[in-house]
């Protein structure tokens, strides 16, 4: 893995080191079907589903607390950062356990918060819609491919883009 | 046609993430893919991982991007820039919920081998592991970079226009 070969003639300051096939030799292909192996791994992963639900519950509570603090603080920088961190954590976790829409809502929220250090009153209302949407998606394990899920996600994207959600979007008071 | 799985039993892994549940998820997937528990170590930060690497020689590191102290990108850069480190060329698979192009580019420029966007799935993690195992890339060393070749497929018989910055001095050194 460390044998170095200088095979560069055009750019003498660049050195190429040939790839090592040590891992390929150490992990040869088995006779087992990959689909079967992955399905088995999915089953193992799902054994943590109950633990995930606990993480989801505490994560949603932390997101709500971060939003409440944001309201108290009037959208200041520290509160925005805290809210972004909480949304980021949920975004990275929920899709693994079938809560893809929570991940998608949090992704839209994180994108909205990116490059914003403080929030105006109207921007805080945009965040509120995301908090409501995340709570709704978590409570109903909303699937983004269903009509309701699409309505929520499309509504948030329209709001973030500066528009208003279409009528009937279940974002307020979820 | 059946696609065969790689036998991961002999590989040693290092899982680095500040969130305990995230480490548990990765280790569960690895174990289900055939990696024995004895072949896995974990660390809560890049700093702890660097200390662990003094004695433990994993074949592959799976590292989260956002961590306190030393994040995944700084961990990768530190490792790649140490010419005497025995794990300098170890494949690094980075996990991150941030999928922005600039984050991916930063990871690549730090010498990260593969990038998995969170939330992870069994298949997304396996695909990247298989990539580093079955299709290892050559390493490139320049005065400012050490890491896997950023060009995954090098066509030695390529006869088309050369567009790399090093081939175009006017672009490489803008006035």
Note the maximum CA span of chain A.
67
- For residue B15, give the H/E element and its range: strand B13-16
Place of tokens 């948030």: A156
Give the pLDDT score at A35. 97
Give the pLDDT score at A163. 67
**Contact between B21 and A21 using a beta-carbon 8 Å cutoff:** no
* Structural domain contains residue B8: no
Domain housing A146:
52-160
> How many folded domains does chain A comprise?
1
Find the helix packing angle between B20-32 and A49-73, rounded to 10°: 150
Please give the Cα distance from A17 to B46 (Å, whole number).
26
* Structural domain contains residue A29: no
Q: DSSP state, A7?
A: -
Cis peptide preceding B119, ω within 30 of 0 = yes
- The alpha helices in B16-163, defined as continuous H runs, are 20-32, 46-52, 72-80, 101-110, 122-134
Give A-chain residues touching B100 at CB under 8 angstroms: 114
Q: Percentage of residues in chain A with pLDDT exceeding 70? A: 87
* Structural domain contains residue A100: yes
A15 CB within 8 Å of a chain B CB: yes
Q: Which of B2, B5, B95 to mutate to test the interface with A (most CBs of A within 10 A)?
A: B5
* Structural domain contains residue B6: no
Domain housing B51:
13-172
* Structural domain contains residue B7: no
Q: What CATH number has the domain bearing residue A112?
A: 1.20.120
* Structural domain contains residue B45: yes
B101 CB within 8 Å of a chain A CB: no
Three-state DSSP class for residue B67: coil
Chain centre to alpha carbon of residue A141: 15
φ/ψ region of B111 (left if φ > 0, alpha if ψ in -120 to 50, else beta) reads: left
**Mean local confidence (pLDDT), A142-164:** 87
Are A64 and A131 contacting, i.e. CB atoms less than 8 angstroms apart? Answer: yes
Give A-chain residues touching B137 at CB under 8 angstroms: 19
- For residue B4, give the H/E element and its range: strand B4-6
Please give the Cα distance from B127 to B115 (Å, whole number).
11
* Structural domain contains residue A9: no
Q: DSSP state, B38?
A: G
B11 CB within 8 Å of a chain A CB: yes
- For residue A93, give the H/E element and its range: helix A77-94
CA separation, residue B93 to residues A29, B60, B149 (Å): 20, 7, 15
Q: Which of B139, B150, B158 to mutate to test the interface with A (most CBs of A within 10 A)?
A: B139
**Mean local confidence (pLDDT), A130-159:** 92
A6 CB within 8 Å of a chain B CB: no
Q: What CATH number has the domain bearing residue B149?
A: 3.40.50.2300
Place of tokens 């592959």: B60
Give the pLDDT score at A92. 95
* Structural domain contains residue B147: yes
Q: Which of A5, A33, A41 to mutate to test the interface with B (most CBs of B within 10 A)?
A: A41
pLDDT, one tens digit per residue, over A54-94 is 999 999 999 999 999 999 998 889 999 999 999 999 999 99
> How many folded domains does chain B comprise?
1
Q: Give me chain A's average pLDDT, please.
A: 89
* Structural domain contains residue B40: yes
**Contact between A16 and B96 using a beta-carbon 8 Å cutoff:** no
Per-residue pLDDT of chain B (175 residues; tens, 9 = 90+): 789 999 999 999 999 999 999 999 999 999 999 999 999 999 999 999 999 999 999 999 999 999 988 999 999 999 999 999 999 999 999 999 988 899 999 999 999 999 999 999 999 999 999 999 999 999 999 999 999 998 776 555 666 666 555 555 444 333 2
Which long-range contacts does A5-13 make (Cβ < 8 Å, 24+ apart)?
A11/B166, A13/B142, A13/B143
pLDDT, one tens digit per residue, over A28-45 is 999 899 999 999 999 999
Please give the Cα distance from B17 to B120 (Å, whole number).
13
* Structural domain contains residue B2: no
């Amino acid at each position: 893995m460390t044998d170095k070969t200088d095979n560069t003639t055009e750019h003498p300051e660049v050195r190429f080191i040939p790839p090592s096939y040590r891992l390929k030799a150490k992990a040869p292909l088995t006779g087992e079907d990959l689909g079967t192996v992955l399905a088995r791994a999915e089953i193992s992963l799902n054994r943590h589903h109950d633990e995930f639900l606990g993480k989801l519950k505490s994560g949603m509570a932390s997101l709500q607390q971060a939003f409440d603090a944001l309201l108290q603080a009037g959208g200041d920088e520290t509160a925005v950062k805290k809210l972004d961190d909480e949304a980021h954590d949920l975004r990275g976790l929920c899709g693994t356990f079938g809560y893809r829409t929570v991940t998608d809502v949090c992704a839209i929220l994180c994108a909205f918060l990116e490059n914003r250090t403080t929030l105006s009153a109207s921007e805080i209302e945009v965040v509120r819609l995301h908090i409501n949407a995340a709570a709704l998606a978590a409570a109903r394990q909303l699937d983004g491919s269903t009509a309701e899920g699409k309505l929520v996600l499309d509504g948030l994207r329209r709001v973030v883009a500066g528009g208003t959600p279409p009528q009937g979007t279940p974002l307020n008071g979820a | 046609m059946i696609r065969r799985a790689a036998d991961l039993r002999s590989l040693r892994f290092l899982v680095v993430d500040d969130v305990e549940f995230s480490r548990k998820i990765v280790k569960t997937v690895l174990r289900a893919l055939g990696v024995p528990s004895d072949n896995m170590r974990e660390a809560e930060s890049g700093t702890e991982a660097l200390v662990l690497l003094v004695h433990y020689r994993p074949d592959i590191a799976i590292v989260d991007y956002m961590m306190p102290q030393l994040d995944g990108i700084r961990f990768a850069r530190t490792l790649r820039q140490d010419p005497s480190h025995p794990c300098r060329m170890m494949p690094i698979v980075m996990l991150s919920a941030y999928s922005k192009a600039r984050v991916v580019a930063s990871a690549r420029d730090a010498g990260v081998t593969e990038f998995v966007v969170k939330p992870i799935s069994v298949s997304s993690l396996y695909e990247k592991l298989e990539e580093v195992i079955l299709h290892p890339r050559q390493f490139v060393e320049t005065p400012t970079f050490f890491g896997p070749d950023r060009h995954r497929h090098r066509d030695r018989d390529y006869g088309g226009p050369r567009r790399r910055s090093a081939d175009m001095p006017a672009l490489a050194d803008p006035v």
